[in-house]
């Protein structure tokens, strides 16, 4: 099953501190994909993987618009393939 990230989850990944660099990011993504029971990886799962407490995502209007555009594009790609 192909999986995508919810917009809030993408933002959390993009703004997280990555002291382990790309390997740490790859491990979190692999873990999220393996554990997600739905085609859309929720922000709560990313928070668990990062060990972060649930928090409201702070985002600028520009970033939110960009995240939504990417998210909608991914949804359209998935539904077009069905």
Q: How confident is the model at residue 7 (pLDDT cuts 50, 70, 90)?
A: very high
pLDDT at 81 over 60: no
pLDDT for residue 57: 47
The residues with which 5 forms a beta bridge, in sequence order, are 41
| pLDDT 10s digits, 34-72 | 999 999 999 999 999 998 655 444 444 556 566 667 776
Q: What is the pLDDT of residue 22?
A: 86
- Residue 69 is encoded by which pair of tokens? 């555009």
CB-CB contact of 4 with 46 (8 Å): no
Q: What local confidence, expressed as pLDDT, does residue 21 receive?
A: 80
Chain centre to alpha carbon of residue 12 = 7
């Amino acid at each position: 099953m192909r999986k995508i990230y919810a917009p809030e989850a993408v933002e959390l990944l993009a703004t997280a501190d990555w002291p382990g660099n790309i390997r740490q990011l790859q491990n979190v993504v692999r873990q999220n994909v393996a554990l997600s029971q739905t085609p859309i990886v929720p922000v709560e799962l990313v928070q668990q993987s990062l060990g972060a407490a649930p928090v409201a995502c702070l985002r600028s209007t520009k970033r939110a618009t960009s995240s939504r555009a990417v998210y909608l594009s991914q949804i359209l790609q998935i539904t077009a393939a069905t």
